Chains A and B, each alone.
Chain A
């Protein structure tokens, strides 16, 4: 499943430890290198600044009323593709990011694959 050459690097932002472990494993199984997982928007933003990232999987609600929107904004500004995973479905997504893919939890490995495979392609990889 891994692309030829260096694996694509995917940032994972998910605040619930158990769910983060699940998605991390799923991404690894799909051949990605996982950056993070980050549990807060600040952790994720720091990783965006420091690491090379080819795509991102973002939980929408990070607990205590925090959301991943600031991270999505930064990624959009950098031109890095991202998808949301959420318990709420499309209705919980900020309208500015209506084009980003959304997966409702829980999801299967192949659903995750179908959502990210075409999106997380580095521009320097043909």
Chain B
């Protein structure tokens, strides 16, 4: 490790050595100019460029003969050149520092974005004797900004859609509800189901979620209470974001109904949730999912269709272009879904 504890006298000595090297021309300016990560150039006070560093030539694939004077316009983009010329001309005339951002054409014909600056170099009398300019490649920075903007747009879109989904849950929960307390109970429980679906999506940066996770998170409180009564089995399936929300809420409706009226409302009842892939049977590869309640009370179909039934039979069926049947059987509810594989329902 180098000794960094210099005395003041030693510091002064080193500074003088450096200054002497500069005065004697020991420091090779072109070498210095070529070692910086920027493209660099120098111009006469009127803007005639007479020197570029090596990086400029390496990047643009040009020569000094191509570029000197105002030849640099050839590597500028036609959409930007007029603005660039007018602003740099303003600096040549006024001596104000120049700054602009524009694409420059590389030797392979592709464009990259550069943040470009130039400062006037003045003599003792304050007259401009030349300009020194640099172009810094900011292409990756701009791309990162673009990605961030897209991500924010997408997030904003999701937030707004989620608010509409919450509005929908409120409206559906208010139907046929007589007291505020029973509205709040239904609404809260659905809101929690929506929230759990979102937690799973957030884990995967909103790209989707696994069906197994959606099912196990939704059923977790019920399975924890009575592990032997609920069985779940099926191969790994990946769901798109909106499918994860729709199926999460659908399964939540099935399990709450089972707890209130179906197989989980009596001590011996059980629920079996299974799914499998059918890659050959039908016209289109599909996921077959069956929710089956056993040993539950006989359910009587009163013809009344609640939110859960509507969401499953209409909402899920339509959104996933599937066939869905929900029936009240002898020993509890049975729900069958045949969901064609799509960009919303995929093999994991």
**A interface residues with partner B (beta carbon < 8 Å):** 15-22, 25, 36-40, 43, 61, 63-64, 86-88, 92, 104-107
Contacts and interface: CB of A to CB of B under 8 A. Distances in A.
B157 A20 contact: no
A109 B240 CA distance: 29
Contact of A63 (B164, B241, B249, B321): B241
B318 A20 contact: yes
A19 B168 contact: yes
Interface centre among A18, A86, A87, A104 (most CB of B within 10 A): A18
B167 A22 contact: yes
Interface stretch (B122-130, B267-275, B309-317, B329-337): B309-317
A74 B70 CA distance: 52
B240 A63 contact: yes
Interface in B296-327: 310-311, 314-316, 318-321
A39 B164 contact: no
Contacts of A17: 242, 245-246, 311, 314-316, 318-319
Contacts of A88: 153, 156-157, 160
A63 B318 contact: no
B94 to A, nearest CB: 38
B159 interface: yes
Interface residues of B, number: 33
A97 to B, nearest CB: 18
Contacts of A15: 242, 319
Given A64-B343, A87-B157, A39 B318 contact: yes
A78 B169 CA distance: 35
Interface string B99-120: 0000000000000000000000
B77 interface: no
Given A39-B319, A87-B158, 12 more contacts: A15-B242, A15-B319, A17-B316, A18-B249, A18-B311, A22-B167, A37-B318, A39-B320, A86-B157, A88-B153, A92-B157, A106-B166
Contacts of A107: 164
A36 to B, nearest CB: 8
A17 B307 CA distance: 12
Contacts of B74: none
Contacts of B311: 17-18, 21
A107 B316 CA distance: 23
Contacts of A22: 164-165, 167-168, 171
A105 B163 contact: yes
Nearest to A61: B157
Interface of B: 153, 156-161, 163-169, 171-172, 240-242, 245-246, 249, 310-311, 314-316, 318-321, 343-344
B161 A105 contact: yes
A39 B321 contact: yes
A-B pairs, top 6 by smallest CB distance, nearest first, are A17-B315, A87-B160, A22-B168, A87-B157, A64-B343, A105-B164
B304 to A, nearest CB: 17
A16 B242 contact: yes
Contacts of B163: 105-106
28 contacts: A15-B319, A16-B242, A16-B246, A17-B246, A18-B311, A19-B165, A19-B168, A20-B315, A21-B172, A21-B310, A21-B314, A22-B167, A22-B171, A38-B318, A39-B318, A39-B321, A63-B344, A64-B343, A64-B344, A87-B158, A88-B160, A105-B160, A105-B161, A105-B163, A105-B164, A106-B163, A106-B164, A106-B166
B174 to A, nearest CB: 11
Nearest to A66: B343
A36 B172 CA distance: 19
Contact of A20 (B156, B158, B160, B319): B319
B65 to A, nearest CB: 46
A105 B157 CA distance: 9
A63 B242 CA distance: 8
Given A25-B171, A63-B241, A64-B240, A18 B165 contact: yes
A95 to B, nearest CB: 17
Contacts of B246: 16-18
Contact of B318 (A43, A86, A104, A106): A43
Contacts of B168: 18-19, 21-22
B196 to A, nearest CB: 14
A16 B319 contact: yes
